[in-house]
């Protein structure tokens, strides 16, 4: 091999201080999120059942029907995606809407995520939304929110509102559901992002980047999410 000049490292050090590699352009990629997910279904069903059981054990009655509870969760997800994308929302992030604690974690990761090395900007896009899956009246949201707020005494944990930032987590947004398996472009993301993303069937990054690392099956993650629907007593 040809011997490297003894001055090469000096030139490298000088250039590193004055030249920063940047992508020529950013490719905007739509990352699909979908509330028709078996993981979300499992979480919502388990949480609703636990609430009903806890209320009944206290001698009370939970007057929210399960169908209404599902639509409430779906509407919150839709509002977060719409907010990130700049669309009009029924309730803004600071309006103190009750958001179940685990769902709050999911929502905080949904958003625009840019990566300088890959030259991509990931943007959430809600799919499979049907009119009967969400509420179209603010009063319905407020009514259920107020009812849920009263459950704090039985161990129901919640956040108020969703984050004002429109930025999302790149680790979350690069998870993708392929053939029932949750995958990512690298092994760096914490496994928690696999669970969070599987809750909404996150997918789409595979159109520009190759997901080679598997984080497990969606069926396995659906089973794990049951433990996050328990009430704290």
Q: What is the pLDDT of residues 76-98, one digit of tens each?
A: 999 999 999 999 999 999 999 99
Give the per-residue pLDDT at 18: 81
Q: How many angstroms separate the CA atoms of 132 and 148, rounded?
A: 22
Query: Is the pLDDT higher at 18 or at 180?
Result: 180
First to last CA, the chain: 70
CB-based contacts of 148, cutoff 8 Å, min separation 6: 64, 98, 100, 156, 158
β-pairing, 213-217 vs 27-33, is unpaired
Give the per-residue pLDDT at 21: 65
Residue 120 pLDDT greater than 60, yes or no: yes
- What's the mean per-residue pLDDT of the chain? 92
Would residue 178 count as lying in a domain? no
Lookup result for tokens 């000088």: 14
Q: Which domain holds residue 141?
A: 22-167+218-228
Residue 215 pLDDT greater than 90, yes or no: yes
Task: Tell me the three state secondary structure of residue 215.
Answer: strand
Give the per-residue pLDDT at 23: 61
Would residue 139 count as lying in a domain? yes
Residue 24 pLDDT greater than 90, yes or no: no
Would residue 120 count as lying in a domain? yes
Which DSSP helix (H) or strand (E) runs through 67? Answer: helix 66-84
Would residue 99 count as lying in a domain? yes
Give the per-residue pLDDT at 63: 92
Please list the helix, strand and coil fractions of the chain in percent, rounded to the nearest 5, in that order: 45, 15, 40
Would residue 200 count as lying in a domain? no
Residue 148 pLDDT greater than 80, yes or no: yes
Q: How many angstroms separate the CA atoms of 180 and 173, rounded?
A: 17
Lookup result for tokens 């206290």: 58
> Using CB atoms within 10 A of its CB, is residue 143 exposed (0-12), middle (13-18) or buried (19+)?
middle
Lookup result for tokens 């629907």: 229
Residue 55 pLDDT greater than 60, yes or no: yes
Task: Tell me the three state secondary structure of residue 210.
Answer: coil
Q: What is the pLDDT of residues 163-208, one digit of tens each?
A: 999 999 999 999 999 999 999 999 999 999 999 999 999 999 999 9
Would residue 100 count as lying in a domain? yes
Would residue 28 count as lying in a domain? yes
Would residue 7 count as lying in a domain? no
Asked whether the whole model's pTM tops 0.85, one would answer yes
Lookup result for tokens 């990054």: 205
Instruction: Count structural domains, the chain.
Output: 1
Residue 118 pLDDT greater than 90, yes or no: no
Give the per-residue pLDDT at 8: 84
Kindly state the DSSP code that residue 200 receives in the 8-state scheme.
T
């Amino acid at each position: 091999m040809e011997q490297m000049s003894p001055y090469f490292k000096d030139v490298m050090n000088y250039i590193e201080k004055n030249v920063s590699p940047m992508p020529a352009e950013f490719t905007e990629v739509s990352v699909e999120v979908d509330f028709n997910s078996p993981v979300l279904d499992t979480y919502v069903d388990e949480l609703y059942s636990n609430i009903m059981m806890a209320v009944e054990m206290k001698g009370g009655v939970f007057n929210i029907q399960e169908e209404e509870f599902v639509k409430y969760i779906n509407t919150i997800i839709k509002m977060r995606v719409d907010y990130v994308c700049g669309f009009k929302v029924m309730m803004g992030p600071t309006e103190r809407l009750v958001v179940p604690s685990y769902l709050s974690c999911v929502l905080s990761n949904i958003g625009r995520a840019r990566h300088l090395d890959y030259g991509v900007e990931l943007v959430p896009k809600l799919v499979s939304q049907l009119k009967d899956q969400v509420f179209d009246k603010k009063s319905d949201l407020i009514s259920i929110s107020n009812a849920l707020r009263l459950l704090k005494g039985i161990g129901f944990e919640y956040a108020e509102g969703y984050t004002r930032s429109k930025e999302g987590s790149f680790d979350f947004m690069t998870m993708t559901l392929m053939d029932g398996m949750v995958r990512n472009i690298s092994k760096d993301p914490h496994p928690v992002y696999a669970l969070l993303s599987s809750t909404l069937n996150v997918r789409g990054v595979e159109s520009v980047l190759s997901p080679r690392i598997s984080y497990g099956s969606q069926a396995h993650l659906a089973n794990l999410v049951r433990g996050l629907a328990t009430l704290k007593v």
